[in-house]
Structure 1
Amino acid sequence: MGDVVSSHLDESRRGMITARTRDVMKQFSDVYEQQYAVALFNSVRFEIEGGGGPQSQLLHRKASDPLAGRSIFSGSLFQYLEENRKWRNRFVFVPNSYTISLYESKAAHERSLHPKLTINCAGYRALTSMEEYMELINTSLPGIKAKVGNNPFIKCPTQFPLILWHPYARHHYFCVMTEKEQNKWHAVLQDCVRHSNNGLSESNTVQTPAFTDAVRLYRQDKGHYGTWEMMCGAPPQILAYLVMETLQPELRNVIGPRLKGKMQQRQRNWMLISDAVYKQVLSQTTGQYDALVEACEAQRVPLDASLRTDMDQIITSKEHVCGKIRALVLPKAEKLLRTSVQPYISSILEALMEPASRGFSEVRDVFFKEMVEISKNTLNGGGKEKLGDHMERLSMLAFHPVKMQSCYAKVEQLNLEGLQQRFDVSSPSVFVSRAQILMREQMDNVVYTFEQLLQQSLDAQGENDMCKAIQRCQDRVLKKYDYDSSTVRKKFFREALLQIIIPYMLQQLSQSCSPELPRFKELIFEDFSRFLLVENMFEEVVLHSVTKDIMMAVKEAAVQRRHNLYRDSIILTNSDPNLHLLGESPSVDWATKFGGDEPEVSLGGGIEGGGSGRRRRQIVSMIQLEGLPLAYESCLEVPGVELIPEEEDAEVSESKEEEEEHEEDPGLPEDPKSPDSINEIRDLINPVVEMMIPVPKENQSDTTNGMEPTNATVVVEDGVQEDVSHVTTLVEDVPRKSPKSKTSPQTILRQLVGSKKQEDDKEHQEEAAIQNGIKEMKITEQEGDRERIAEVCAAVSDSESSPQPPLATDSHPHDDSGFQSPSNEGLDEGKPQPVTNGLNGEDKIIDPVEVEVLLA
């Protein structure tokens, strides 16, 4: 496959990619430097003037990393290796950074070895069906239309696949054995994608707005208005997507027609080429963006000093210029608003509110269910340790992908079909991801507030009546959540409406207004020109023109009870001051507070920032596989699959695959076949009969393993007498039984020489044979001669003539498949193995002796 990449990406083409990336970064850098100064001005102005909306009723966790010392999930699944086109078992570890690390085995992870692969999930989509994946793949190359029901180029060994798809980077293929595993892994992968896509920090009030505005203005300059679903991940990744947005179609049109082979092979080769191009672009954008941020940060101190000195004059100048721009833009904006925007605001809002309200309501229900479990534990006298365990799990509820999946699924039903084309909305995924992030933040705030309130209550009143304390804290927190979730949802609705409407209005107004904007630059003093840009002021005028209508639409929706929204006037300012004093307290360590044990899961605390001397705690519990052996996680390959054939040679290799599966699984019955070796022919001529006789404890030390020649006869199943040529004594170490349950020698000999169905006239012969056997055993105990054992067997055989049932209760034909030498017979698992009397010559307690009789 590497030859395909190198042949289509030669030095000249790679040079073209480097030059194109450099040009894009140069244009973006100019826009970013301008927006950096504007963002710094807005940040300093907000700091001086203050502002904000209603105060939050819930507490916010102060810790920068609430997942410190924890991991998200770990387990085993099967990964498809493109190098050899095989599936292999991999141990997957998801740390608190949400990057996916794949190891050769669990032992390799515990030894802190480097992972085989590390996946940054930004920009990916987690899929659970080959059909959905093929729909995306079939659009990768132009001019190729796959037939309906066409087989994918990857054959999944199970019906539970997991696929990570990316428009530019390499795809990753996994599969699991059960539907339960698939659901849990899918939730974990989706959470990794969700967290990685939210890579821009809102706490950075300068770099984040400067970057987002620069990307938006750059794309608008290229004619791309509206939301952009690839605005996800870290800034260098977003810049790489910005380059690939125009570069990939050009390369695809040039390279696509030159790809050879069948459709599946051409698709695979194109994905390899696209991944190589993306890696090259990403390496360049990473270095150039870091240099750009460093250069801007170096100028921050003098710019900040200049802003604080001339803030009043800058604000006055901005208001003057905005007034001039407003006189030009506002009449056109209001006309556009009345005719093309206002009729659709209620429809857009309704499409957003239904799934979002259900999602936030599900957050409340999930928290309430967890509280019910804690209350049950308290009422049933679970004790402080049990309460500590429940509170430990509750503290990480917001970061539990499986428990939060029901909340996230409600928002995924958001559908803007019919509105996307009109307002240039590429995909609702932007709003879905934002709502899910807000839901997780609200859940974390609820849990953190409850923890602080419960700790305060227990410190004040003690642990005498914990159930009532838990109930009071729960009711208090849920009431605050109702207010906060209403405020957060209304803010989300306003932001979503602006993201949908503003780009549409800018696109419609720019054609008539943009030529008039340069003349307003003359009204700005040169010293203030870095902080006041005409393009930004034009967007602010358009924004203010539609804000009033959006606010009114949201207020009207708040009156409707079915949305569970509250009016802003109900939320009190500075309410519950005692609660907000608790916000300065650190998070409660419930395991330490209630004397709980160390966490159960140890997953390499020294990796990924977990090295505090404590064992890393895992948020999602391990998957319990019902009906599968415990050794499943230690297997190295897919059960019964040695080679997954490709689509083009599936029919040719079908028979070979069945043979390989047959060889891999020793439990499958083998078809009868003729002997192929001398040993197998010898075994057919000289069959082996296994017999068990007891040995007295006094003579156990004299009994050793070995084969001794002897002369005797034995009656086999078909009634024919066979001569005994050799007797092999095998000593087996088995657990000793109690005297009550121990079988007597008489009973064992009865099982050897006769069955329950013997005729009445044979009873005297049987008793005589038993008495002879007992006498011979006593002689063997006194003399310690091993040869007497074979004579006892021969005597018993002689006493039983051909009309009697066979002596041996268990007859196994010798089977040598060619992998063992004859001297290693009987060493397989589950069969008695020869054991010496002791490793160092000491006596060893042995109950039975297994005797193999070779029939000549």
Structure 2
Amino acid sequence: MGASSSLLDETKANYIKGRAEAELKNFIPHYRQQALQARVQLLQEEAEPRREGRGQLLTPKEMRGSEELLYQNSVNCHDDSRKWKERFVVVRGNHTLELHDTLESFSRGTPARHSQSLTGGEATTSEDTYSALLDRAFPDPNGVKEETQSVVPAGWFPVFLCLPYSPDIFFCFRQEEQQAHFLSILNTCIRHQNLGWREGPRGEVLALQRALLFYRQEKNHYEGWELELGSDLQVLCNLVMEETAPHPSRLDLLPRLRGRRRLWTAVVQAAYQLVQEQLGAGLEALKEECRQTASANQTLIRSDLDQILASRALLTGQAVRVCVCSSGACVQHQCGPLPAVPPGGGEGGASGGAYWPCGTTWRLSSTPPPLSSTLPSPPPLQVVSPLFSASLEQCYQPVEQLREKLLDLHQRFRYSNCQRLIHTTQIDMQQLMESAVHTFELLVQSEPPAQWSSTVEKIKLRVLKLYDHDSRLVLKRILKEALTDITLPVLRRNLAPSCKPELQKFEQFIFADYSQLIQVENVYEDLLLCLITKENRQGDAGSSQ
């Protein structure tokens, strides 16, 4: 940890390690239970046909890895050296930022002088916005704002990267177009890394999601959690840091810092590294144990799946449903009128409605120049991809404006996952566009080169129709998930006092052989979800009459 380790004496370091170990120990039983529940759910989904519609666009199979480069260029940087220096900046396909000394050192394979995860980061081109981010991250307990001096050379275009557990990094560009392009790359990386834990194996994603839900409910936290960011290890680290991280209000921790932000960042970084070291091996061992347990139960689950589902249905019908429904019209009473999900993606469909700004991308973009049949196999993406990329950035802007429109939801529902809603929507937009480009490329390449100039427009219109279809499906899913994310926590909190104490008695309805494969809390949670979706369907039907 370098110099930062001296900022945490042995007592404070042992305290942080102890809290991390205790957090993991308390979390382990929840994850073990949910790992088996996830395996049952996966096998159930495998056995039952999908009810929702399927996308028609062709999705690229290859996943971006560390070998793919999203960005590489020599850029003036102001990092922990506290001086402006030209660095060779690389952004890899796994959305990690690297700073190299020179292009030559990068080409030789020399390890980066600095490799940075962007989870939880915020990037801006405004010095005032950056100062506001600093004041929010390092509030003075006496309300005194620390003066900051501009470090940006006159006439340059800056990008400020503010990171939660690392020193901030500044970048400067000679041209505004270079600044905008790099900012777009950073924001893409932040979005993907914030949601990184959702990109793992589906069984582990389901297990972590439900384990976090029930673990936080034990602490009386029913609302969404804005620190559910990064990899599964980073999410658990955030659990610890939320309660144990050094904070400026705790004056007894490091009084000698006196608000000096650079040193304070080093303290927080040292604490975070301690937490990561303490949790890393334990989490990996837990995941491996759960993989083996799930694999050992695979045969039982497959052979007895019908009986397991029947036992679950018995539990639902005879016990938990009575508990939930005894609360009467709980959804309308606790949540009030719920917004309806527009059928088919809203008025005008996904491509023209106000709900999905990305749908008109191809219609609004310029028509690609004719492809000459005399050219030796021109890459279609060189013609089309730049148009998509420019249009995609324009589509992100209306989604960003949702922050202001969702302020009322924060007051009414304590909704704090606005950033996640925005990021997931933007990622869906990006994935749809990448699938459209991939489909276009394959269709063009399936035609003889001599016919490209005459068929490219027809292919573009065909892919647009597929894109409109998939956009409607994605939009409908986004709206339903957002509605659930907003209202379900309210229902959980208000029904908990009357329903939670009753759950234990319903375990008698579970067959002994399946006691590890069926959890009453999971059935209860699924019932609450059914209540929400039922109310939404009724509201949707009522609004259409």
Task: Work out whether the TM-score is over 0.5.
Answer: yes
Deviations 1:501-555 (A, max 9, x none): 1111101110121111111122222321111111111111111112122234556
Which residue in 1 is equivalent to 2:204? 207
**Residue identity in the other structure for 1:365:** T
Which residue in 2 is equivalent to 1:507? 493
Pair 1:492 & 2:478 matched:
yes
State the alpha-carbon separation in 1 of the partners of residues 313 and 517 from structure 2: 13
Which residue in 2 is equivalent to 1:27? 26
State the alpha-carbon separation in 1 of the partners of residues 519 and 415 from structure 2: 27
State the alpha-carbon separation in 1 of the partners of residues 168 and 264 from structure 2: 12
Q: Does the aligned pair in 2 maintain the 1:77–1:176 contact within 8 Å? A: yes
**Residue identity in the other structure for 1:155:** V
Which residue in 1 is equivalent to 2:185? 188
Deviation of the 1:67 alpha carbon: 7.0
Which residue in 1 is equivalent to 2:76? 78
Which residue in 1 is equivalent to 2:291? 297
After superposition, residues 100-179 of structure 1 pair within 5 angstroms as 100-139=97-136, 140-147=138-145, 151-152=147-148, 155-158=151-154, 160-179=157-176
Pair 1:538 & 2:538 matched:
no
State the alpha-carbon separation in 1 of the partners of residues 384 and 165 from structure 2: 38
Among candidates 209, 220, 244, match of residue 217 of structure 2? 220
Pair 1:407 & 2:395 matched:
yes
Deviation of the 1:161 alpha carbon: 2.4
Which residue in 2 is equivalent to 1:377? 370
Q: Does the aligned pair in 1 maintain the 2:381–2:437 contact within 8 Å? A: no
State the alpha-carbon separation in 2 of the partners of residues 223 and 79 from structure 1: 44
Q: Does the aligned pair in 2 maintain the 1:40–1:206 contact within 8 Å? A: yes
State the alpha-carbon separation in 1 of the partners of residues 487 and 409 from structure 2: 11
Q: Is the deviation greater in 166-175 or in 26-35?
A: 166-175
Deviations 1:541-579 (A, max 9, x none): 11111212223455678x79xxxxxxxxxxxxxxxxxxx
Q: Helix, strand or coil: the match of 1:90?
A: strand
State the alpha-carbon separation in 1 of the partners of residues 541 and 160 from structure 2: 42
Q: Helix, strand or coil: the match of 2:197?
A: coil
State the alpha-carbon separation in 2 of the partners of residues 437 and 340 from structure 1: 32
Which residue in 2 is equivalent to 1:673? none
State the alpha-carbon separation in 1 of the partners of residues 47 and 438 from structure 2: 31
Deviations 1:156-178 (A, max 9, x none): 22453222223333322222233
Deviation of the 1:201 alpha carbon: 4.7
State the alpha-carbon separation in 2 of the partners of residues 523 and 541 from structure 1: 16
Q: Does the aligned pair in 2 maintain the 1:330–1:541 contact within 8 Å? A: no
Which residue in 2 is equivalent to 1:331? 326
After superposition, residues 278-317 of structure 1 pair within 5 angstroms as 278-317=272-311
State the alpha-carbon separation in 2 of the partners of residues 71 and 359 from structure 1: 33
Q: Does the aligned pair in 2 maintain the 1:125–1:165 contact within 8 Å? A: yes
State the alpha-carbon separation in 1 of the partners of residues 67 and 384 from structure 2: 16
State the alpha-carbon separation in 2 of the partners of residues 441 and 516 from structure 1: 44
Q: Is the deviation greater in 133-142 or in 21-30?
A: 133-142
Q: Helix, strand or coil: the match of 1:51?
A: coil
Deviation of the 1:110 alpha carbon: 1.8
State the alpha-carbon separation in 2 of the partners of residues 553 and 321 from structure 1: 28
Deviations 1:474-513 (A, max 9, x none): 1111112112101110011001111111111101110121
Q: Is the deviation greater in 158-167 or in 124-133?
A: 158-167
**Residue identity in the other structure for 2:90:** F
Deviation of the 1:17 alpha carbon: 0.8
**Residue identity in the other structure for 1:517:** L
Among candidates 441, 447, 472, match of residue 437 of structure 2? 447
After superposition, residues 635-714 of structure 1 pair within 5 angstroms as none
**Residue identity in the other structure for 1:182:** Q
Relative to 1, partners in 2 of residues 1:65 and 1:383: Cα closer, same or farther, differing over 3 Å? farther
Pair 1:466 & 2:464 matched:
no
Deviation of the 1:250 alpha carbon: 6.6
Identity level (%):
28
Deviations 1:454-482 (A, max 9, x none): 233x1xxx344433311211111111211
- The structure whose residues are more often helix, as a share, is 2
Which residue in 1 is equivalent to 2:53? 54
Deviations 1:239-296 (A, max 9, x none): 11111111126785155661344x4x2x322211111111111222222111111111
Q: Is the deviation greater in 282-291 or in 28-37?
A: 282-291
Q: Helix, strand or coil: the match of 1:299?
A: helix
Relative to 1, partners in 2 of residues 1:187 and 1:359: Cα closer, same or farther, differing over 3 Å? farther
Pair 1:475 & 2:471 matched:
no
Relative to 1, partners in 2 of residues 1:430 and 1:13: Cα closer, same or farther, differing over 3 Å? same
Relative to 1, partners in 2 of residues 1:270 and 1:313: Cα closer, same or farther, differing over 3 Å? same
Q: Helix, strand or coil: the match of 2:282?
A: helix
Q: Helix, strand or coil: the match of 2:339?
A: helix
Which residue in 2 is equivalent to 1:321? 315
Q: What's the RMSD between the two structures over aligned residues?
A: 2.9
Q: Helix, strand or coil: the match of 2:120?
A: coil
Q: Does the aligned pair in 1 maintain the 2:406–2:418 contact within 8 Å? A: yes
Which residue in 2 is equivalent to 1:625? none
Q: Does the aligned pair in 1 maintain the 2:374–2:450 contact within 8 Å? A: no
Q: Does the aligned pair in 2 maintain the 1:164–1:171 contact within 8 Å? A: yes
Gaps of 5+ in 2: none
Q: Helix, strand or coil: the match of 1:377?
A: coil
Give the greater-gyration-radius structure (CA): 1
Gaps of 5+ in 1: 561-856
Relative to 1, partners in 2 of residues 1:179 and 1:396: Cα closer, same or farther, differing over 3 Å? closer
Q: Does the aligned pair in 1 maintain the 2:157–2:172 contact within 8 Å? A: yes
State the alpha-carbon separation in 2 of the partners of residues 260 and 203 from structure 1: 40
Pair 1:244 & 2:264 matched:
no
**Residue identity in the other structure for 2:25:** K
Q: Does the aligned pair in 1 maintain the 2:64–2:93 contact within 8 Å? A: no
Pair 1:277 & 2:265 matched:
no
More contact order relative to length (CA 8 Å, sep ≥ 6): 2
After superposition, residues 341-356 of structure 1 pair within 5 angstroms as 341-346=335-340
Deviation of the 1:363 alpha carbon: 5.0
Deviation of the 1:396 alpha carbon: 8.3
Deviation of the 1:92 alpha carbon: 0.4
Q: Does the aligned pair in 2 maintain the 1:93–1:100 contact within 8 Å? A: yes
Which residue in 2 is equivalent to 1:764? none
